[in-house]
């Protein structure tokens, strides 16, 4: 199954590459990188990624959407939001990290569903989805095919949770051990939700 990462300028590098590190350990997954135009996209930390055009994204796959400063402008970009919505609706699963959930909310994809986001940007994210059931305390939230995580490193926890849901907790624990990561496996408890 394809992991389709939807990127944009000023995405948060660890939002993307934390989950990529986890999913890269699953032989059944193939990771691909997309953007609206299919160009080189630059992260907030200046990582440059060559992407394919979103129109070439496979359906029935797993879509990953990072957050970052770039989301602040994109929530007001109706063309981007529509393309994200179309791609998400064709995906089997849709995972967002940090303020990536603001993009899902703006597209109306998670209306009526439980979701979370970065705790520092939480109030701003909420303004983009007034009909979303925002869960402040969650490290990550799952509702239907949508997984949303809190900020940055929480994307790793959510990705391991996704692996546990699909392949069993032992496989998730094995990956956490392989990458020498202490998995915060309680999705209901984010220590940064003060």
- Chain-wide mean pLDDT for the chain? 97
The pLDDT of residue 16 is above 90: yes
Domains, the chain, ordered by start:
2-178 (3.40.50.880)
Burial level of 58, CB count in 10 A (0-12/13-18/19+)?
middle
Q: How far apart, in whole angstroms, are the C-alpha atoms of residue 176 and residue 184?
A: 10
Residue 194: per-residue pLDDT: 83
pLDDT recorded at residue 10: 98
Rounded mean pLDDT, 41-55: 98
In order of 1, 11, 12, 103, 176, the CA distances from 70 in angstroms are 28, 6, 8, 10, 29
User: Checking phi first, is residue 46 left (phi over 0); if not, alpha (psi -120 to 50) or beta?
Assistant: left
Mean predicted confidence (pLDDT) in 55-66: 96
């Amino acid at each position: 199954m394809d992991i389709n990462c939807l990127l944009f300028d000023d995405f948060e590098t660890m939002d993307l590459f934390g989950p990529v590190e986890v999913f890269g350990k699953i032989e059944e997954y193939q990771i691909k990188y997309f953007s609206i135009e299919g160009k080189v996209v630059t992260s907030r930390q200046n990582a440059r990624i060559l992407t394919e055009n979103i129109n070439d994204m496979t359906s029935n796959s797993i879509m990953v959407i990072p957050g970052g400063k770039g989301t602040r402008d994109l929530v007001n970009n109706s063309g981007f939001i529509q393309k994200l919505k179309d791609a998400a609706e064709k995906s089997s699963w849709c995972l967002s990290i940090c303020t990536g959930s603001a993009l899902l909310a703006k597209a109306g994809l998670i209306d009526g569903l439980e979701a979370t986001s970065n705790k520092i940007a939480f109030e701003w994210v909420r303004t983009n989805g007034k009909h979303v059931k925002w869960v402040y305390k969650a490290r990550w939230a799952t509702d239907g095919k949508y997984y949303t995580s809190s900020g940055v490193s929480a994307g790793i926890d959510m990705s391991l949770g996704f692996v546990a849901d699909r392949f069993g907790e032992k496989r998730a624990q094995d990956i956490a051990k392989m990458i020498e990561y202490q998995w915060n496996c309680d999705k209901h408890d984010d220590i940064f939700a003060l």
